[in-house]
């Protein structure tokens, strides 16, 4: 949610291989640790009923993206997600678009999505598609059909216009729909892609179960999302100062309760998904928010923000809290991948 940023919000796989060797990620253990899930900021778990969605959440999300997507696109382009950098890398502004593309490639490599013409995905759904940056990228990369869904009518219209301008209208189509009630048949997609939309979902279990429902047997599910840290065995909730920091971020970016990476793993296990893997990429996104803040403080950034609207400005004001959350080890930029059982 890069924009997430402004407001909420291909690099080669050698880097993935290198980072795998460095042990950046791990397979989920076969049994989830047993502990009670915290009431605050961990709503959507297999074991616990989700807190009700805040009133007007969907309208708020749609309004935020309707209002801010144009500003984001004019400064940052069509990808509304974090960039992926080598840990400790000092990044210049010129690197950021490349880093956003690299984020897509790293997620695909992490999930072992095949490039082989026989096995590569032919049908893709981009859940929480923004203006379709990933949809178009993936459709082009794999020569696939890609459907995208977003809550924002402005994003769907803009994404379809960009697809038409790039000659991709017959491959890419975006529409307004809710990720928790997707307008698709069961088992339709070889690749189910959710790049920085999970944090907006008020019911994480329903979210993952919808991703699983629309995946084809053997299909790959990729979720890249904001989580809070895993709790220690001795903890039943986050600390009060952590809860209060997340609350301020939630208010500005129209986010419901957060959950932890372990919560996602528990949900995926409870849905009998296979090959569950997760990794913490927080260090790899560290240069991103400082760069977003820097771009917001340019003349173009300031004038764009001032003409955009209150939701966008409020989102921009909260950006330093994201940096704080990462530095405290509270916010974890997480990738979770798995497969639906069945023939590949």
Ligand X SMILES: C[S@@+](CC[C@H](N)C(=O)[O-])C[C@H]1O[C@@H](n2cnc3c(N)ncnc32)[C@H](O)[C@@H]1O
Residues that bind ligand X (CB under 6 A): 1-4, 8-9, 61, 65, 79-81, 128-130, 133-134, 149-152, 155, 178-180, 195-197, 200-201
Between 81 and 147, CB nearer to ligand X = 81
Which residue, 67 or 280, has its beta carbon nearer to ligand X? 67
What is the torsional sign of CA 12, 14, 19, 25? Answer: positive
Beta bridge partners of 278: 26, 336
For the CB of residue 184, give the shortest distance to ligand X in the complex, in Å: 12
Between CA 67 and CA 154 the distance in angstroms is: 8
Q: Which residue, 153 or 329, is less far from ligand X as judged by CB? A: 153
What's the min distance (Å) between Cβ of 32 and ligand X? 25
- Let me know: does 44 contact 259? Beta carbons within 8 Å: yes
Smallest distance, ligand X to C-beta of residue 231, A: 25
In the complex, the smallest distance separating the C-beta of residue 30 from ligand X, rounded to whole angstroms, is 31
Residue 267: which of 24, 21, 37 has the closest Cα? 37
Judged by beta carbon, residue 155 or residue 278, the one nearer ligand X is 155
Q: How far is the CB of 4 from ligand X (least distance, A)?
A: 4
At closest approach, how far in Å is the CB of 34 from ligand X?
30
CB 216 within 8 A of CB 340: yes
- Residue 238 vs residues 126, 228, 251, 329: alpha-carbon distances, Å: 31, 9, 18, 12
Specify the residue, 180 or 293, whose C-beta has the smaller distance to ligand X.
180
Distance of alpha carbon 19 from alpha carbon 23, whole angstroms:
6
Q: Shortest Cβ distance from residue 300 to ligand X (Å)?
A: 20
Q: Which is nearer to ligand X, 197 or 262 (CB)?
A: 197
CB of 260 to ligand X, least distance (A): 20
Best CA proximity match to 131, nearest among 182, 180, 68, 178: 68
Q: Give min distance, CB of 175 to ligand X, in A.
A: 10
Q: Name the residue nearer to ligand X (CB basis): 30 or 55.
A: 55
Task: Tell me the DSSP string of 84-145.
Answer: ---TT----TTHHHHHHHHHHHHHHHHTT---STTTS-SEEEEES-TTSHHHHHHHHHHT-E
Look-up of token digits 């997600």? 81
CB closer to ligand X out of 78 and 263: 78
Backbone angle region of 340, left / alpha / beta, with phi > 0 → left and psi within -120 to 50 → alpha: beta
> Helices 310-327 and 57-76 sit at what angle, rounded to 10 degrees?
80
- DSSP for 214-242? HEEEEEEEEEEEEEEPPPPTT-SS--HHH
Q: Measured from the CB atom, is 179 or 286 closer to ligand X?
A: 179
Distance CA 38, CA 150 (A): 29
């Amino acid at each position: 949610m890069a924009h997430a940023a402004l407001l909420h919000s291909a690099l080669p796989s050698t880097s993935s291989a290198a980072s795998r060797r460095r042990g950046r990620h791990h397979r989920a253990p076969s049994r989830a640790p047993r502990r009670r899930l915290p009431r605050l900021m961990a709503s959507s778990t297999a074991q616990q009923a989700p807190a009700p969605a805040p009133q007007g959440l969907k309208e708020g999300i749609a309004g935020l993206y309707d209002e801010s997507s144009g500003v984001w696109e004019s400064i940052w382009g069509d990808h509304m997600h974090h960039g992926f950098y080598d840990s400790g890398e000092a990044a210049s502004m010129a690197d950021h678009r490349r880093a956003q593309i690299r984020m897509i490639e790293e997620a695909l490599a992490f999930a072992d999505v095949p490039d082989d013409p026989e096995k590569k995905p032919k049908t893709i759904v981009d859940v929480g598609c923004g203006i379709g940056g990933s949809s178009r990228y993936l459709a082009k990369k794999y020569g696939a059909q890609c459907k995208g869904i977003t809550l924002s009518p402005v994003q769907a219209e803009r994404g379809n216009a960009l697809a038409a301008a790039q000659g991709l209208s017959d491959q890419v189509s975006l529409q307004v729909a809710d990720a928790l009630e997707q307008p698709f048949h069961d088992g339709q997609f070889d690749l189910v892609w959710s790049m920085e939309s999970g944090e907006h979902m008020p019911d994480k279990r329903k979210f993952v179960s919808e991703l699983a429902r629309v995946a084809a047997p053997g299909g790959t599910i990729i979720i890249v999302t904001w989580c809070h840290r895993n709790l220690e065995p001795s903890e039943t909730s986050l600390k009060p100062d952590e809860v209060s920091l997340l609350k301020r971020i939630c208010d500005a970016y129209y986010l419901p309760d957060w959950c932890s990476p372990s919560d996602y793993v528990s949900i995926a296990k409870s849905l009998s998904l296979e090959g569950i893997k997760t990794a913490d990429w927080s260090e790899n996104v560290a240069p991103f928010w400082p760069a977003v803040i820097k771009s917001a403080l340019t003349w173009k950034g300031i004038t764009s923000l001032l003409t955009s609207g209150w939701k966008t400005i409020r989102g921009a004001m909260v950006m330093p809290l994201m940096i704080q959350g990462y530095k405290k080890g509270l916010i974890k930029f997480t990738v979770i991948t798995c497969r639906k059982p069945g023939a590949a």
